[in-house]
Amino acid sequence: MKFSDSLKSNLDFKNVYSKGKSYANRLLVMYVLENGTEFNRIGISVSKKVGNSVVRHHLTRLVRESYRLHEAVFNSGLDIVIVARVSGKDASYKDIESALLHLGKLHRIINN
């Protein structure tokens, strides 16, 4: 069962950055904007400052997997952009998972 799609175009990312609301913690920054559909679109951004391509891709996979496993608790109809911070490169899966859920609670986009 697939609930979410990906944000792919640069224009979509810019739209969420400029019009969306953001909260941050030590590992991640999350931007959220309503998209007017019944499904979520998620985009993950990891800067070259974080590390080489192996490190960046590993961090992207951790974020994507933690979102995938908790996808059912997030509200629908949102564009979500998650930006990984440099401090996240040494984080474990559990750290990334708890950071993602913490930001979801701050945005009030998690169903109880």
Kindly report the pTM of this predicted structure.
Answer: 0.93
Three-state secondary-structure class, residue 112: coil
Burial class (CB in 10 A: 0-12, 13-18, 19+), 19: exposed
Topology, domain 4-107 = Ribosomal Protein S5; domain 2 (3.30.230)
Is 99 in contact with 27 (CB distance < 8 Å)? Answer: yes
Report domain extents, the chain: 4-107
Which pLDDT tens digits describe the chain residue by residue (112 residues)?
Answer: 356 889 999 999 999 999 999 999 999 999 999 998 889 999 999 999 999 999 999 999 999 999 999 999 999 999 999 999 999 999 999 999 999 999 999 999 998 7
